[in-house]
Amino acid sequence: MKPIYLDHAASTPVHPEVAKVMYNIMIGEYGNASSVHQFGRSAKKIINGARDSIAGFLGCAPDEWIFTSGGTESDNLALFGAAAGTAEKGRHIITTAVEHHAILHTCAELERQGYSIAYLPVDSTGLVAVADVEAALREDTVLISVMFGNNEVGTVQPIEEIGRLAAERGILFHVDAVQALGMLPINLLGLPVDYMSFTAHKISGPQGIGGLYVRRGAPLHPRQHGGLQERGRRAGTESLAGAAGFAKAVELAVLGLTQRQDHALRLRTTLLQELDRRIGRDAYVINGNTQHFLPGILNVSFPGASTDVLLMNLDMEGIAAASGSACTSGSLEISHVLQAMKLPAELLHSAIRFSTGLGNTNEEMEYVAQKVETILKRLRK
């Protein structure tokens, strides 16, 4: 069997239709969108077209969308930009202990700049309680940042409830929706959020481009300087092919949402059923919330085995899985998400993340379960 890619939460293969759109632009368009001649006007038309398309599919106005280099920059821009724009009102920010490092490391830098950060705990399934958010509020709270769906265990947070709470108190609310796009319905017009971060390469779009939704009227101080691109909010020459590819990926993700969800759930169900049949339900533990979850992410611990050995053996069998965030998977550190969930040591040290996407099949899930059985038997001899 050909190699099986089960690390879609890290990055996804580019969809052929996305690649076609990008190729046509890369060989036919090379003007700078800030230039006033016909080549520049043509480039500007591509950028504006991509912006209009994404805004239409996500339910926001085109001027509420900022192109960035990816999800990390989008998170950084939202937090630094919102904090700088509200510094006179207060310096208290609320987030959770299970955010992506693009949020946590940004918060750490804000702490060094004199901000006070509340890192809320989660339960054993990775879920944050709305009551904990409310209890953490202070007179000087200016921003709340909570991710939509967790990139390591797939737990989906109560975004709407938190957003309404923030809106009632006049507090800005940012959501990292990098993993949610293409797996959950998103209509920005109906969501109580001020900022929402996205990236293209999680939805079969190109790497190196993302976006930030900024509600009209929400403060945002720019982090990059040197040009008036993106209405002066994010300097830098725009990526024509990247923007157009992102727009096509969003179109495919939104229009095909139901099919994507159903496909991911079928794969998840098949893998779990095959694991039950081959190694027994008592031989593994599902990490994450089993009611509120992203269907494409399944985090499983195999007590008695170790994560690094499991990953190495899976790789030798042609199966690409992960231990957690791609930004930290090169290290041997235990996942901060699983630690925040206060899981027992035997689960912390044996966790594997299987994340599925377009191109994966039920037959592959059956093969993966078979190989897991073989590996576990070999390791436990």
Task: Give the C-alpha separation, 160 to 153, whole Å.
Answer: 20
- The answer to whether the Cα torsion of 254, 365, 100, 119 is positive or negative is positive
* pLDDT tens per residue across span 237-282: 999 999 999 999 999 999 999 999 999 999 999 999 999 999 999 9
Catalytic residue numbers read: 327
At 51, which amino acid appears?
Answer: R
Task: Please give the biggest Cα pair distance in the chain.
Answer: 71
Among 185, 215, 151, 166, residue whose Cα is nearest residue 11: 151
**Beta pairing class for 319-320 and 4-5:** parallel
pLDDT at residue 132, rounded to an integer: 98
Distance, CA of 129 to CA of 122 (rounded, Å): 7
- Quote the CA–CA distance of 9 and 7 in Å, as a whole number: 5
The pLDDT of residue 329: 46
Q: Render the burial of 51-62: b for 16+ CB within 10 Å, e for the rest.
A: bebbbebbbbee
Residue 351 CB neighbours (<10 A)? 25
Amino acid present at 368: V
Q: Using one digit for the tens of pLDDT, what is the confidence trace for 128-178? A: 999 999 999 999 999 999 999 999 999 999 999 999 999 999 999 999 999
Q: Which two tokens stand for residue 167?
A: 């809106």
The bridge status of strand 195-199 relative to strand 285-287 is unpaired
Q: Give me the residue label for tokens 């038309």.
A: 45
Q: pLDDT value at position 326?
A: 53
With a cut of 50, which residues of the chain have pLDDT below it? 328-329
Q: Name the residue among 363, 274, 289 with its Cα closest to residue 129.
A: 289
Q: Centre a 10 Å sphere on the Cβ of residue 344 and count the other Cβ atoms it contains.
A: 11
Report d(CA 288, CA 261) in Å as an integer: 18
Q: Residue type at 141?
A: T
What's the pLDDT at 231? 87
* Res 332: pLDDT: 59
Dist CA 62 CA 53 (whole Å): 8
Q: Is 318 exposed, middle or buried (0-12, 13-18, 19+ CB in 10 A)?
A: middle
